Amino acid sequence: MPHPNGGQGNTFPVIHSFRDAFEKLETGNFAFKSNTGENMIATRGNTAGGHDAIVFHGENVMHGNVCSACWGYRMNCTGTRIGHAVEAFDHALSR
């Protein structure tokens, strides 16, 4: 399913709203470590449908993106496992 049909799988509590997290990226990319220990970069982007998205780039690959409808889910709207990046990014924004 395309964005923004909602996330899938388990949810986790988020500290920041999607909008707050997206706005924090207005000044540039954000480096953090995922829950699996991988160095990652969060950037602002858009879904294929033109919705705001946060894109997660790992050390070697792009892990996926998240929109407001799948923020806080372990899998994004398209079924990509993204929770390890979203949860860590959300917590890192508070540091």
Q: Is the pTM of this model over 0.85?
A: yes
- Residue 51 resides in a domain: yes
- Residue 3 resides in a domain: no
- Residue 2 resides in a domain: no
Task: Name the H helices within the chain.
Answer: 18-24, 83-92
- What span, in angstroms and rounded, lies between the C-alpha atoms of 41 and 39? 7
What is the model's pLDDT at position 16?
98
Cβ(32)–Cβ(40) below 8 Å = yes
Domain range for 81 is 8-92
- Residue 1 resides in a domain: no
Total domain count, the chain: 1
- What span, in angstroms and rounded, lies between the C-alpha atoms of 44 and 36? 22
Q: What is the pLDDT of residues 30-63, one digit of tens each?
A: 999 999 999 999 999 999 889 999 999 999 999 9
- Residue 29 resides in a domain: yes
